[in-house]
Amino acid sequence: MLVLKLVFPAFVQSYWFKEIDLLVLCLKKHLEVIG
């Protein structure tokens, strides 16, 4: 259980950071198209 407590939050954080990176990339592409 201790391993889950240590590993799971890091996994969730890395997943969310990847999602945010994808959102930022999409926003940049849209801004480039508009600009």
Both tokens assigned to 24:
């930022």
pLDDT for res 2: 76
For residue 3, give the 3-state DSSP assignment.
helix
What is the tens place of the pLDDT at every residue in 11-33?
888 888 899 999 999 999 988 88
Q: How many helices (H) does the chain have, and how many strands (E)?
A: 1, 0
Both tokens assigned to 25:
């990339």
pTM value is 0.50
Both tokens assigned to 1:
């259980």
